[in-house]
Amino acid sequence: MPTSTHSILNFVSVLRDDFRDYAELCFERFGDRVKHWITLNEPWTYAVWGYDYGENAPGRCSSWKNRACKAGNSAVEPYIVAHHQLLSHAAAVDVYRKKFKGQQKGLLGATLVTWWTEPYSSKTADIDAAKRVLDFIYGWFLDPLTYGDYPRTMRDYVKDRLPKFTKTQSEMLRGSLDFLGLNYYSSRYVKNVETQDPWRISYTSDLHADLLYENWEGQSIGPGGGVEWLRIAPFGIRYLLNYTKDNYKNPPIFITENGVASDDSEPYCDIINDTIRIEFYESHIGNVSKAIKEYNVSVEGFLAWSSVDTFEWSSGYTVRFGLAYIVFYRKNLTRIPKSSLEWLKGKLLGGDSASENCPPSFT
Catalytic site residues?
A: 257
Residue 312, beta-bridge partner list: 316
For the sheet with 36-41, list strands across it.
36-41, 107-113, 179-183, 253-257, 299-302
**Cβ(278)–Cβ(337) under 8 Å?**
no
- Coil vs helix vs strand at 113: strand
Please tell me what DSSP assigns to residue 31. T
- Name the strand (E) or helix (H) holding 87: helix 77-99
Give 282-326 as a 3 state SS string: HHHHHHHHHHHHHHCCCEEEECCCCCECCCECCCECCEECCCEEE
Instruction: Say how far apart CA 280 and CA 224 lie, in whole Å.
Output: 11
Backbone angles phi, psi at 37, to 5 degrees: -110, 135
The count of other CB atoms within 10 Å of the CB of residue 298 is 16
Question: In 3D, which of 55, 134, 41, 25 has the Cα closest to residue 85?
Answer: 41
- Name the strand (E) or helix (H) holding 10: helix 8-30
The count of C-alpha atoms lying within 13 angstroms of the C-alpha of 68, restricted to the half-sphere facing its C-beta, is 10
Contacts of 289 (CB under 8 A, 6+ apart): none
- Coil vs helix vs strand at 38: strand
CA 44, 46, 49, 52 dihedral sign is: negative
Please tell me what DSSP assigns to residue 349. H
